[in-house]
Structure 1
């Protein structure tokens, strides 16, 4: 697990730096500088682009990871890499023409409640295509065990340039409308930079030929398109639905709350970049025991780190919202609901990597499509009744059902199980500390109160998890730190 721990640690640090940058801009820059209307519009465009991205990528970012390790010669590697880059264009171009043919109908549907969206519709497919090829070239680098640079671009680079754009509005160099277009340019540049880096990692030798296992590749790709669409609809579908029922400014409130909750999933995102190809390799070599061991390790390590992040957010959420405009206060319950759904998904470890690299992926993906339908129906029911709170509740139910279904499938079909008694201990520690600290408020400025409470929570959380040896690997990591600090012999 040396390379896993090394790159996962780097990716985790990078991702948290990115989320810190994004957190500052989301909480303190976007609301006052961009305003709720254009902030909501920006998030809506990004969400739509993210939802159609799997269609443009044709699932090649995951297909590349799964099948690259099966290439036996350099010629096969070049054929496969060429195929993963060129084949999406074959289907992207017809999709764009179909969109142009039905342009009026699409515009009419998307702008029914918020006409402001009309002027920016064409940015959605452009950004979706940039996102798709970013992921493909990022996967190109990842299969060669170079996951850090792409992760930096994705998590830090995009957010830093957004901050620059916001500062441009603040100093009146650009307008809010210019910022929307600038965001599209930023994603295009990110794609170009990642492509050049991927080519540096592995020099391309493009061959216009079809791989010998093209049938298996295309079959897998079809289902990965479904899985990517399912995942992204569950992530961003709620914002798209809100646009159909409410003023677009409500998406700004919802986006702030969901961003706070998404910080919980950062450890999973960081580890997934390097664990995914290793999982694919273990499954290809039929190393069941090693895979089961990896499954348990990723589960408990992600639970411990993610549980700490969730705990710090939950016990400080009231003070955090005191620093935001009062209009955003309704998002506290959204943070709890989305946060819990992310935590449950987190403790499943590398569950997704196992499923998508197994022979059982078809049935689970069809189940995912059913759950997207459930999400759609739940949003239709709850948004008119409870607004943005209703959308968050629909998301919580949908993601929880989807996560339970995937867990049961892996347990029953593949005889892999992520949980141990340490899982229960970790949950108990988290619950107890939440009850102790949530209702206890320091009578200071919110920043000071958050800082003091976080220090106390950190000390107790680390001590209890270390004492009960929740994670052997993390205990070893802490022991090394204690030795370096000469706190332990």
Structure 2
């Protein structure tokens, strides 16, 4: 776990810096510098692009991680990497051609409720390609066990650029139209920068020598398209369907609540960058003992860290909403529901990595398809009847069902679980803290109130985790931190 902890800490710090910048953008700049309709439009464009991204990537970003460590010779690695660069084009170009030929019908369908979408539909396709190839180049660097720079580009770069563009919009340096196009250009620059870094780690050598397992590689790529990104697709699917059924301003309101809750997923995202290739390596080596240890440790660590973040969010959520425009303040229940779903995701540890990199990835595809269909059905009913909170209900039900199915499957096939006695102890601590602090606040200005309450909760929580020795990895990090202070 040494390599995992070291790079995970760096990735977590980077990701949180990115989320802070993104939080400023979403909670304060977008809500004050842009109209609700255009804020909703921006969210709609990039959410729809994120839904298309796995298809445009043709699952390559997952295939790279699963198969790279299985190739031992330089020639086979070069041939494999060449195929990984070409495969996305095999799907992106036909999809673009179909979109061009059917553009009128697609635009009528997508803009039936919100006409503002019509002029920007083609940007969704372009953005999806940029997002797809960014993930390919990021995976290229991850298999070289270098994830920190890629995480910086993924979490910080585009958000910092968005901040600059928002201020340019506020000072009338650019128009709203130019702002939206500039955001797409930022994603293009991010993709190109990631490509240069990935190639600096391992320069591609074009080679088309035949690989013995080429059929396995292609079938995995095709099947993992949906399964590999299903958790992210679900949250983006909500925004897409809100734009189809109700006014696009609601996409903006929902996006604010979702962004707040998504902070809980940061540790999982950070740790996943390094546990994914490590899990693939253990599976390729059939090292069940280390795999079981990694599963339990990653689950417990993420539950502890994610649990603290969950507490800090939901116990301060009322005060936080006082700081943003009143029209956005109806999303507290959305934050709590999605927050619980994200906490469950944290508890899964490297469960996804085990399934995606094993021979059972087809089962994940079936589960993922079931999840997407369930989410679409629930959203189709809940959104027209209940609005944005309906989308949150749909997502919560879908994610809990999906994660439970994956836990059961890994238990049956691998005979391993993430559960331990310490898992129960952490859950008990979380429940006690929620009961004690939810209705208690300092009688101060919201920012000061949030700061003081967060310090009290954090200190008490970490003291309990350290005192009861619930996680060796967390305790080592805390000891190292205390020693550095001394």
- Normalising by the smaller structure, the TM-score range is over 0.9
What are the Cα deviations for residues 29-52 of structure 1, in whole angstroms up to 9, with x where unaligned? 110101211110000000110001
**What does 1:11-22 align with in structure 2 at a 5 Å threshold?**
11-22=11-22
Aligned to 1:160: 160
Q: Take 1:162 and 1:211, find their aligned partners in 2: how far apart are those partners?
A: 42
**What does 1:310-389 align with in structure 2 at a 5 Å threshold?**
310-389=310-389
Aligned to 1:113: 113
| 1:339 counterpart SS class | helix
Aligned to 2:87: 87
| 2:282 counterpart SS class | helix
Contact 2:51–2:237 (8 Å) recurs in 1: yes
Are 2:143 and 1:127 aligned?
Answer: no
Q: Take 1:138 and 1:459, find their aligned partners in 2: how far apart are those partners?
A: 36
Contact 1:83–1:209 (8 Å) recurs in 2: no
Q: Take 1:180 and 1:266, find their aligned partners in 2: how far apart are those partners?
A: 26
Aligned to 1:48: 48
- Consecutive unaligned residues of structure 2, counting only runs of 5 or more, are none
**What does 1:421-440 align with in structure 2 at a 5 Å threshold?**
421-440=421-440
Aligned to 2:309: 309
Aligned to 1:258: 258
**What does 1:452-467 align with in structure 2 at a 5 Å threshold?**
452-467=452-467
What are the Cα deviations for residues 41-100 of structure 1, in whole angstroms up to 9, with x where unaligned? 000000110001111100001101111101111111111111100122122111111111
Aligned to 2:195: 195
Q: Take 1:228 and 1:94, find their aligned partners in 2: how far apart are those partners?
A: 22
Contact 1:52–1:128 (8 Å) recurs in 2: yes
Give, in angstroms, the shift of residue 229 of structure 1.
5.5
The aligned length equals: 486
Q: Take 2:205 and 2:276, find their aligned partners in 1: how far apart are those partners?
A: 25
Query: Once structures 1 and 2 are overlaid, which stretch shifts more, 412-421 or 308-317?
Result: 412-421
Give, in angstroms, the shift of residue 480 of structure 1.
2.7
Contact 1:83–1:211 (8 Å) recurs in 2: no
Q: Take 1:347 and 1:386, find their aligned partners in 2: how far apart are those partners?
A: 29
Give, in angstroms, the shift of residue 405 of structure 1.
0.7
Give, in angstroms, the shift of residue 210 of structure 1.
4.1
Q: Take 1:209 and 1:105, find their aligned partners in 2: how far apart are those partners?
A: 42
What are the Cα deviations for residues 350-378 of structure 1, in whole angstroms up to 9, with x where unaligned? 00000011111212311220121111111
What root-mean-square deviation, in Å, do the aligned CA atoms of Structure 1 and Structure 2 show? 1.0
| 1:206 counterpart SS class | coil
Contact 2:138–2:194 (8 Å) recurs in 1: yes
Q: Take 1:283 and 1:293, find their aligned partners in 2: how far apart are those partners?
A: 13
- Consecutive unaligned residues of structure 1, counting only runs of 5 or more, are none
Give, in angstroms, the shift of residue 345 of structure 1.
1.0
Aligned to 2:236: 236
Q: Take 1:251 and 1:150, find their aligned partners in 2: how far apart are those partners?
A: 29
| 1:330 counterpart SS class | coil
